[in-house]
Structure 1
Amino acid sequence: MADQARISNLDAIEAFRSALIVFISKTRQSLEMAQDAVKKTRAWLQTEQPAFWSAQIKQRQKRLDQANAELMSARMSEFVETPSVQQMAVRKAKAALEEAQAKLERTKAWARDYDRAVAPLSRKLDALRDYIENDLTLATAHLVEIQKILDAYNETRIAEVSPDTAS
């Protein structure tokens, strides 16, 4: 009797296998979403943001030019004693232009450094994907084999026990 296995519930193996399959599926989806986010962020940094900030620089440069022109007109005008409003507009326009230039430079720096910063994390995602695709998929196959072996064991044990009880 000591060399017999006591198997009380084969359904637990099937439940675990089912949960593992669900886990693999959800993890695959999450990994794909993460990789898509990495690609989209790279494209955003390399194309969309530089174009946006370049356009902002042009727009803000026009505002600065306009503010400077208004300041010059105010200084030449007899009707405006102190052109403080125009000076404040020039300062604001200059600050806005400098902000856009700084953001374009930061965007370019991030675009240059993005792959170097993200690569180590991306490799970890790749390692997780390999683990999911290889090891866990193999584990589900092993669980099926374990179920078959245990089912066969149970059937032989039942067949051995049945003739004794019939006598």
Structure 2
Amino acid sequence: MADQARISNLDAIESFRAALIVFMSKTRQALESAQDAVRKTRSWLQTEQPAYWASQIRLRQNRLDQAQQELMSARMSEFVENPAAQQMAVRKARAALEEAQAKMERTKHWARDFDRSVDPMARKLDSLRDFVDNDLAKAVAYLVEIQKILQAYNESPAPAASEP
């Protein structure tokens, strides 16, 4: 039985180490992208959308007020026999206002529930980030040490064969 291992090529370890570093880099980028998407969505839900729907409610309320004024004028006018067009405009404006109010309520609901819904998944991403930053970084360092040890072993002279 041989007393010395024959190590002729350390390229596989180096290739694995390089692939692990590339994997870590791509994983970090993907994690940052996911966390950025969470931040942007939170901001969109908590600031942009409420402001948008508040402005839409004001705009649509003004349109409803105007349509109601036109209906009132049409009813009082002796020149308009049937104010059906004005009544239709009031119905459309009221429906548009109700839609904006419903969307504002929905936005508030999602803004309240966003963190509760997203936090469990975000914690999993944080644990993956910890794994990549700590465990895989240690693995790369261990692979470097293994390469050094095997290289030194490979370069050391073979022990002299002892006779029994």
Q: CA RMSD in A?
A: 1.9
- Unpaired runs of 5+ in structure 1? none
Q: Trace 1:18-97 onto structure 2 (pairs within 5 A).
A: 18-97=18-97
Correspondences of 1:80-119 after superposition (within 5 Å): 80-119=80-119
Report the CA distance between 1:23 and its aligned residue: 1.0
State the 1:8 CA deviation. 4.3
The Cα shift of 1:72 comes to 1.2
TM-score w.r.t. the length of structure 1 is 0.89
Distance apart, 1:113 and its partner CA? 0.9
Q: CA–CA distance in 2 between the matches of 1:99 and 1:13? A: 62
Tell me what 1:5 maps to: 5
Would the aligned equivalents of 2:8 and 2:154 in 1 still touch at CA under 8 Å?
no
Q: Which string of whole-angstrom CA distances, capped at 9 and with x for unpartnered residues, describes residues 7-28 of structure 1? A: 3431111111111111111111
**Counterpart of 1:117 in structure 2: which amino acid?**
S
Q: Percent identity?
A: 75
- Moved beyond 3 Å, runs of 4+: 1-4
Of 98-107 and 77-86, the range deviating more from structure 2: 77-86
User: Aligned partner of 2:66: which letter?
Assistant: Q
Match of 1:132 in 2: 132
1:96 is matched by which residue type in structure 2? Answer: A
3-state SS of paired residue (2:137): helix
CA distance in 1 between partners of 2:118 and 2:4 (Å): 54
Residue 81 to residue 6, structure 1, CA distance change in 2 (3 Å): farther
Any gaps of 5 or more consecutive residues in structure 2? none
Could you tell me which amino acid in structure 2 is paired with residue 160 of structure 1? A
More helix per residue: 1
The answer as to whether partners of 2:64 and 2:93 remain within 8 angstroms in 1 is yes
> Which stretch shows the higher mean deviation, 30-39 or 95-104?
30-39
Q: 2:152 is matched with which residue?
A: 152
Number of residue pairs matched by the alignment: 161
* Residue 148 of structure 1, CA deviation: 0.8
CA distance in 1, matches of 2:90, 2:2: 93
SS in structure 1 of the partner of residue 158 of structure 2: helix
> Does structure 1 retain, via aligned residues, the 8 Å contact 2:74–2:83?
yes
